[in-house]
Amino acid sequence: MDYEHQTPLTGGLFHQLMDNLPSGLLVLELPTDSGVDCTEGRIIACNAASEEYFGSKCQDLVGQSIATNLPHCLEAWLAEHEWEICAGEEVASEIYCGRLKRRYDVKFTWLEPGAKCAIILSDITQAHHDSQWREESEARQTYLTELGDVLSTVDCAEEAKHQAVTLLCEHLGDCYACFVEYDGNRLVSENEADLVVPIIQENKPVAYLLVTPKERRIWTNEEVKLVSLSAQRTWSVVSRLRLMDALQKSEQTAVALAERLKAVDERKNDMIAILSHELRNPMAVISACLDLMELTHKNTEIQHTLDRMREQIDTLTGIVDDLRDVTLLSDGGLELRKEATDLCRVVLHVLQDLDQDFQAKGVKLEYDLPLQPVVVNIDPVRIGQCVVSVTTNALRFSPQGGTVKVTLRYTDNTAAITVQDEGPGIAPGLLENVFDPFAKGSKPRRRAVTGRIGVGLTVVRSVFTAHAGWVKAENVPDGGALFTLTLPLYSIAEERGSVEKEQLTILCIEDNEALAETLQHIFSLYGHETHLAYSGRDGLVKAEELIPDVIFCDLGLEGMNGLDVARKIRANPALNDTLLVALTGYTSDYDKELAKESGFDLYVAKPFQIATIEEILAKVQAAAG
């Protein structure tokens, strides 16, 4: 039978239409005595898209029996859906061709029930691959998100490793995984596991993640990348938790040591206070005896001796005063009586009183003071004593014929007193500690007269710090030392009640009670309202109650750590305007990035300078004003 001429499906236009279809198309004619057995039919039409599937040209397929040309997978598909076909239904589903390694969408439809039918084959291999890739990608992202959530809540390094390998095995399927730390002697062999991923830190392996499936499998590039990323993320958390644990132990040791040192220091201060008090009695007797001798002996030679003795008594008095001041500083008993004061007048009176001492030593005293008042809120007696201490210090180290220059300058917010001498300068080893108690060094600047025990500059720093000011010492290039003493200017807002206008509400979340109480004392000196919390959860409760201007929070808190605290705070709209500052001993770039992502505005590493804290608070006050 000539099928090409007997079937109505003929003509060039029809063949052109079929060949332009993107899907493979087969039209079958069934013998009238075969019922609905499609495998007994013959191919009466096909298109070019079906040639690859059958492996033959269309002209070779037309007129042929489908039973001898039908691929096994399609034959099995027809047998699977025989019932629906017999019922006259259209059938559509997927099949996979192993020979071509392709996946097809197959659709069966009747053209003439029981006589002619069509099979349409659409290649969906790429679409299926894309869908599978999306599902795998979503599964990987879900796994990584869950891993991050779990690692953010654990507080133990071993628990972090356990949770990580548990999640990884659930994601990969039937397999076993474990972390092996590098012991320093050998590397882990790839024979020890099916997949070995090294964990690199500072260009060397520190551990390995070993993964062994229960059944042999081929690892895809995406799976290898996922295991590697899981290993690095987990080990970063493990390392951080171990550091936090070590830091907590170190802090506990430091606190215990600090308590012991505090007890020793208190006993030492008590001894110094008693010594300072008891020395005054015999010194008073000696001084009175000298007065008596001056009244009863008018001999010039004896008078010279009495003068020398008087000088030594004055020196001893200065030493006792130093002992008194150092105990006051240690006990926090340095009282200030602040009032609005013209700093120019205070400095000028000091310099006028010292002028005779400069003339006696042959040192020139130069000063440059503003003509207009420079008003500051100070204790004028204490600030005057500090200017005397720094200026006489410069005189002591100045050579005969030298010059000491004293200047007073001011800006919109601060006033600065500078004292510069032409002496030998400050030894490099002493420069950083010149304001510490008893800091003289082995060779104290070749001073002509020592006269004191080395706490005068300590008192200067403490007095200026108590006035919310600061002090600085440095060497000048041409020789000599330069001291800078800075104070905040007095403002109208301060005169009207700066506590109402400029006082900040500060919350300090710190489980080191000694450090927390020290910060509270410092903030109180600056005139701020300060509250303490010794745990993350307590800190959250107080933050919601107070709505503070600034929160200083330690990262290494027990229980809920500082990162979790920051996330909770940032989730509360009422705390949007609160400045959140991290106080921590962790200083790596990774920790700083974690703090930033958690919601911290600023990052301050321990140990910190008070000037850093002061600068932060000043900026908050300026922004509030």
CA distance 403 to 368: 13
Q: If you write DSSP's letter for every residue of 516-555 in order, what string do you get? A: HHHHHHHHHHTT-EEEEESSHHHHHHHHHHH--SEEEEES
Q: In 318-334, which positions are buried (b, 16+ CB within 10 angstroms) versus exposed (e)?
A: ebbbbbbbbbbbbeeee
The Cβ-side half-sphere exposure at 474, using a 13 Å CA radius, reads 8
Mean pLDDT per 10-residue interval, the chain, length 625 residues: 44 65 83 67 82 76 77 79 82 83 87 85 84 82 86 88 88 86 63 77 84 84 87 88 86 85 76 69 69 68 76 74 64 71 90 91 92 85 89 90 93 90 85 68 38 61 87 88 91 44 83 81 80 92 92 88 92 91 76 88 74 77 72
H or E element: which one contains 326?
helix 300-331
512 contacts: CB under 8 Å, gap ≥ 6:
251, 255, 554
The tokens of 391 are what?
């200026």
Query: What is the Cα–Cα distance from 439 to 138, expressed in whole angstroms?
Result: 65
Residue 584's pLDDT is what?
78
For residues 452 and 440, give the distance between their C-alpha atoms in angstroms, rounded to a whole number: 10
The per-residue pLDDT for 86 is: 80
HSE-CB of 508 using CA atoms within 13 angstroms? 24
Asked if the peptide bond before residue 282 counts as cis, ω within 30 degrees of 0, the response is no
3-state helix, strand, coil in the chain (%, to 5): 50, 20, 25
Quick check: 583 and 552 in contact, CB under 8 A? yes
DSSP-assigned letter for residue 572: -
Question: What local confidence, expressed as pLDDT, does residue 190 receive?
Answer: 53
Angle made by CA atoms 244, 247, 248, in degrees to the nearest 5: 85
Position 236, amino acid: S
Cα(562)–Cα(597) distance, integer angstroms: 12
Place of tokens 């659930």: 170
The candidate with the shortest Cα–Cα distance to 343, out of 487, 469, 495, 492, is 487
Q: For residue 408, give every residue at least 6 positions away whose Cβ sits within 8 Å of its Cβ, in sequence order, or none.
A: 343, 344, 347, 367, 368, 369, 370, 374, 415, 416, 417, 418
What integer pLDDT is reported at residue 493 of this predicted model?
A: 41
Q: What is the pLDDT of residue 568?
A: 93
Instruction: Kindly provide the b/e burial profile for residues 592-616, where b requires at least 16 CB atoms within 10 angstroms of the residue's own CB.
Output: bebbeebbbbbbbebeeeeeebbeb
